[in-house]
Amino acid sequence: MELVDTSDLDALRSAVRPGETKLVWLETPSNPMWSITDIAAAAAIAHAAGAKLAVDSTCATPLLTRPIELGADIVMHSATKYLNGHSDVIAGALATGTEDAFWARIRRTRGMLGQILAPLEAYMLIRGMRTLSLRVKAACDTAMDLAQRLSNHAAISHVLYPGLPQHPGHDIARRQMQGGFGGMLSIRLRGGEAAAIGAAARVELWKRATSLGGVESLIEHRGSIEGAGSPCPLDLLRLSAGIEDVEDLFRDLDQALKR
Ligand SMILES: *Cc1c(COP(=O)(O)O)cnc(C)c1O
């Protein structure tokens, strides 16, 4: 396996080995820097090399991006996140546009290993999915509003959100995302690691926790969670916008950043 920054198409092109690479796996927008990969271009590169393209589209949700229509062979969603939306189920989903031999192998593996949801989890997931469109819209609107306001905040050096025009992936995101740029964003603090950890400890409405895509807004210092060797900048806080009032969310962040 080879790791490559797939938002850099030249890097992706030189990483695939025609006839040898079987699968290109990418995530867009990608956690926690929210870089954007051009799915259609990545599909063309993968297919030219005889590989399949799989897209982890968890943070885009099925509402904002339709990777199969853009050329992807397999789409993955962590249903633990937006699809469920209530942070009380662990589940995942794969989708394909073509029921080929590769898909048959995936289905066979699932059948053999018994990786199916228990009835209660299936019920809870369906319950959550009924409000997916309302929750995702609220999260996108809030994330965009916060990204714009935080861009002008004295304590912040960078806001990473594909909805901002200055984001390097903004033009691609505008083409391949419809109805919003997602509910996830990150901020980098001028005060560095200590300021980031301090701010995450001072929030009162935001909850300090891993995971994302639920009705509650979450904040996390990813560097300490990922541990030594993580490429995540230590001045970075990751934010998952929930469905609370945006004024309350901003005020809480503002007081935590100012103190
Ligand atoms: C959480 C997450 C996963 C892992 O999913 P689980 O349901 O927690 O196993 C994979 N990809 C992305 C983008 C995620 O956010």
Same domain, 123 and 169: no
189 band by pLDDT with thresholds 50, 70 and 90? very high
**Neighbour count for residue 136 (Cβ, 10 Å):** 24
**What is the residue with the minimal CA distance to atom 9 of ligand 1?**
78
Question: What is the predicted pLDDT for the residue at 36?
Answer: 98
116-146 confidence digits (pLDDT tens): 899 999 999 999 999 999 999 999 999 999 9
Same domain, 51 and 100: yes
Average pLDDT over residues 183-207: 98
Question: What is the predicted pLDDT for the residue at 259?
Answer: 75
| pTM over 0.85, yes/no | yes
Same domain, 102 and 145: no
30 band by pLDDT with thresholds 50, 70 and 90? very high
Cα–ligand 1 centroid distance for 112 (angstroms): 23
115 band by pLDDT with thresholds 50, 70 and 90? confident
Q: Identify which of 58, 59, 117, 184 to mutate to test ligand 1's pocket (most ligand atoms within 8 A of the CB).
A: 58
Same domain, 70 and 166: no
What is the gyration radius of the CA atoms in the chain, in angstroms? 19
Place of tokens 């249903």: 79
Task: Give the residue from 100, 129, 158 where a domain finishes.
Answer: 129
103 band by pLDDT with thresholds 50, 70 and 90? very high
pLDDT at 185 over 80: yes
Is there a domain that residue 15 lies in? yes
Query: Which amino acid would we find at residue 152?
Result: N
Question: What is the predicted pLDDT for the residue at 10?
Answer: 98
Question: What is the predicted pLDDT for the residue at 199?
Answer: 98
Task: Give the residue from 71, 94, 129 where a domain finishes.
Answer: 129
pLDDT at 14 over 90: yes
Is there a domain that residue 61 lies in? yes
Task: Give the residue from 113, 129, 145 where a domain finishes.
Answer: 129
51-95 confidence digits (pLDDT tens): 999 999 999 999 999 999 999 999 999 999 999 999 999 999 999
114 band by pLDDT with thresholds 50, 70 and 90? confident
Domain count of the chain?
2
Question: What is the predicted pLDDT for the residue at 155?
Answer: 98
Q: What percentage of the chain carries pLDDT values higher than 70?
A: 100
To the nearest whole number, what is the mean pLDDT of the chain?
Answer: 97
pLDDT at 43 over 80: yes
Is there a domain that residue 2 lies in? no
Cα–ligand 1 centroid distance for 162 (angstroms): 20
Same domain, 207 and 122: no
Cα–ligand 1 centroid distance for 60 (angstroms): 12
Cα–ligand 1 centroid distance for 204 (angstroms): 26
Same domain, 137 and 121: no
Same domain, 182 and 120: no
CATH code assigned at 218: 3.90.1150.10
Question: What is the predicted pLDDT for the residue at 44?
Answer: 98
pLDDT at 246 over 90: yes
CA distance 182 to 170: 12
Host domain of residue 27: 9-129
Same domain, 91 and 185: no
Is there a domain that residue 3 lies in? no
Average pLDDT over residues 14-32: 97
Is there a domain that residue 4 lies in? no
Same domain, 97 and 157: no
